[in-house]
């Protein structure tokens, strides 16, 4: 299948770019990634203690820069970023060229980096590795909403851990779209999940959380047996968004894909 050099993005689409970082080990390719980063990004990457974290940071910066260059005539090394009004990373508009009003969000877990791209709207993406050793039920009991806790513990034991990551990734996608992190208590909003193909997801809010459920759309996905992926977008105009998925090795390949991945 031919790789994608550039791609169009309509105002009713969300594009998800998946990169399996641990498979990228070609020294010359990694060296090219290093040339794309700003001095500040390089300094931050070098401060990670573990090689696996330095590697993931390097591939992540290459991913976001090469992905954005598929939507605008800007070289990957020329993108600059600011912290938005809620400290959420945003594109710094170039001075001498008009580009689409791109919004992006990044997430990474074991061997997975995901970059979501859309136009104008608040977007949140979260991917999690579901086989890590955590007391997930204790976390849920302490932080989730009462309705989520009740639904979670009503499930057979062999399904509870999977449902936890459904909720967790959805919650992360919401707070990342809002750009406020854990400043939003996790029990201030609740998700309802109807198991279907694909799952049907809706959100509701506690009275103190002044938000409107109809302004949000969410997707819950299972990219493979060990990862969970959720996406949320604020759509006040109630536009029916469509997802398109791609897998990429930055500077080398980019192809449309369907889930689950091979």
Specify the pLDDT at position 111: 92
- Closest-CA residue to 79 (of 25, 115, 31, 125): 115
Name the more confident of 250 and 2: 250
pTM over 0.85: yes
Torsion, Cα of 46, 52, 55, 57 (10° steps): -70
* 181 pLDDT above the threshold of 90: no
Question: Element (H or E) spanning 219, and its range?
Answer: strand 216-224
- Across 128-146, average pLDDT: 93
d(CA 1, CA 142): 47
* 1 pLDDT above the threshold of 50: no
d(CA 162, CA 141): 15
Specify the pLDDT at position 239: 78
Specify the pLDDT at position 6: 85
196-255: per-residue pLDDT in tens?
Answer: 999 999 999 999 999 999 999 999 999 999 999 999 999 888 778 999 999 999 999 999
Specify the pLDDT at position 183: 84
78-103: per-residue pLDDT in tens?
Answer: 999 988 666 678 999 888 889 999 99
Name the more confident of 97 and 193: 193
* 2 pLDDT above the threshold of 60: no
Does residue 130 have a cis bond before it (omega within 30 degrees)? no
- Across 117-124, average pLDDT: 96
Dihedral sign computed on CA atoms, order 72, 74, 75, 76: negative
Name the more confident of 63 and 82: 63
Domain architecture of the chain: domains with CATH = 11-121+237-256 (3.90.470.20), 122-234 (3.90.470.20)
Specify the pLDDT at position 86: 65
- Across 21-40, average pLDDT: 97
What rounded mean pLDDT belongs to the chain?
93
* Residue environment code for 135-144, b if the CB has 16+ CB neighbours within 10 A, otherwise e: ebbeebeebb
- Across 141-163, average pLDDT: 96
- Across 63-67, average pLDDT: 97
- Across 38-64, average pLDDT: 96
């Amino acid at each position: 299948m031919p790789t994608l050099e550039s791609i169009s993005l309509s105002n009713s689409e969300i594009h998800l770019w998946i990169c399996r970082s641990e498979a990228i080990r070609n020294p010359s390719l990694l060296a090219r990634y290093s040339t794309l980063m700003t001095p500040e990004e390089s300094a931050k990457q070098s401060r990670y203690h573990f090689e696996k974290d330095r590697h993931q940071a390097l591939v992540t910066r290459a991913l976001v820069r090469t992905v954005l260059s598929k939507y605008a005539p800007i070289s990957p090394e020329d993108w600059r970023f600011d912290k938005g009004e809620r400290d959420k990373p945003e594109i710094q508009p170039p001075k001498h060229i008009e580009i689409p009003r791109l919004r992006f969000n990044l997430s990474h877990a074991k061997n997975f980096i995901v970059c979501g791209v859309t136009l104008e709207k608040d977007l949140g993406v979260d991917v999690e590795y579901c086989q890590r050793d955590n007391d997930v039920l204790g976390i849920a009991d302490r932080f989730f909403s009462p309705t989520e806790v009740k639904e979670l513990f009503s499930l057979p034991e062999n399904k509870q851990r999977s449902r936890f990551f459904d909720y967790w990734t959805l919650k992360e996608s919401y707070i990342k779209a809002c750009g406020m992190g854990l400043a939003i208590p996790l029990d201030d909003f609740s998700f309802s999940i109807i198991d279907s193909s694909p799952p049907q997801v809706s959100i509701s809010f506690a009275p103190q959380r002044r938000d409107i459920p109809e302004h949000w759309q969410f997707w819950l996905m299972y990219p493979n047996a060990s990862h969970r992926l959720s996406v949320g977008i604020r759509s006040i105009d109630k536009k029916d968004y469509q997802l398109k998925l791609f897998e990429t090795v930055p500077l080398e390949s980019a192809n449309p894909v369907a889930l689950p991945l091979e």
